[in-house]
């Protein structure tokens, strides 16, 4: 009886440890730190264990959006076009918003703001993006949950 319980417990611990280690999409609470702006929101960024994703903000809908597809055997969505950003010189793919079918640019690791006057009080796991409402590098993303 004792022995069985130990095995069950061990299995639970190992099983628990395996959850969320790799490919965890992450949910963020968003809050603009610009005192002149009151933007708040939520978004999910990143792929999950089973699903890949393109994540971004649709300016037409005013919402954070995600395209997801099965990592194994799924078909990645095709960009509907490309844009060249003069500011960075990069050519970026544009995807169709799942709601309005209008274009949105994916948000990637590169879009995290590195040097911003709003970065002072950030805690571990928090980072800044540009705010879709005021355009300042002041949108704080605070880790809220891991999705599997």
Identity of the residue, 24 or 134, whose beta carbon is nearer to Zn ion in the bound complex: 134
Contact positions with Zn ion (CB under 5 A) in 76-135: 97, 99-100, 102, 131, 133-134
Binding segment toward Zn ion, per CB under 5 A, in 5-13, 20-28, 36-44, 71-79: 36-44
Q: How far apart are CA 68 and CA 51, in angstroms?
A: 6
In angstroms, the Cα distances linking 16 to 20, 27, 34, 146 are 9, 19, 39, 13
- CB 122 → Zn ion: shortest distance, Å? 16
Q: Which residues, 2 to 31, sit near Zn ion by CB under 5 A?
A: none
* 43 interacts with Zn ion by CB under 5 A: no
| Residue from 24, 37, 92, 143 in contact with Zn ion (CB under 5 A) | 37
Strand pairing category for 81-84 and 103-104: unpaired
Q: Assess contact for 79 and 95: CB atoms under 8 A.
A: yes
d(CA 113, CA 139): 9
- Of 40 and 108, which has the nearer Cβ to Zn ion? 40
In the complex, least distance from residue 81 CB atom to Zn ion, rounded to whole angstroms: 15
- Site size toward Zn ion (CB under 5 A) is 14
Instruction: Pick out residues in 47-66 that bind Zn ion (CB under 5 A).
Output: 58, 60-61
Cβ(122)–Cβ(140) under 8 Å? yes
CB of 9 to Zn ion, least distance (A): 48
Q: How far apart are CA 36 and CA 133, in angstroms?
A: 11
Beta-sheet strands, E only, within 1-138: 25-32, 40-45, 51-58, 63-70, 81-84, 91-96, 103-104, 127-129
Provide the binding-site residues for Zn ion, judged by CB under 5 A. Answer: 32, 34, 37, 39, 58, 60-61, 97, 99-100, 102, 131, 133-134
């Amino acid at each position: 009886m004792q022995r069985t319980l130990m095995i069950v417990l061990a299995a639970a611990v190992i099983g628990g440890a395996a959850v969320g280690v790799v490919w965890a999409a992450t949910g963020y609470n968003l809050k603009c730190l610009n005192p002149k702006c009151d933007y708040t929101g939520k978004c999910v960024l990143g792929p999950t264990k089973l699903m890949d994703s393109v994540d971004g903000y649709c300016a037409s809908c005013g919402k954070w959006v995600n395209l997801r597809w099965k990592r194994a055997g799924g078909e990645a969505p095709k960009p509907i076009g490309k844009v060249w950003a003069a500011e960075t010189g990069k050519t970026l793919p544009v995807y169709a918003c799942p709601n309005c079918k209008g274009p949105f640019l994916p948000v990637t690791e590169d879009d995290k703001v590195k040097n911003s006057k709003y970065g002072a009080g950030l805690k571990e796991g928090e980072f800044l993006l540009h705010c879709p409402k005021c355009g300042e590098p002041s949108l704080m993303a605070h880790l809220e949950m891991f999705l599997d």
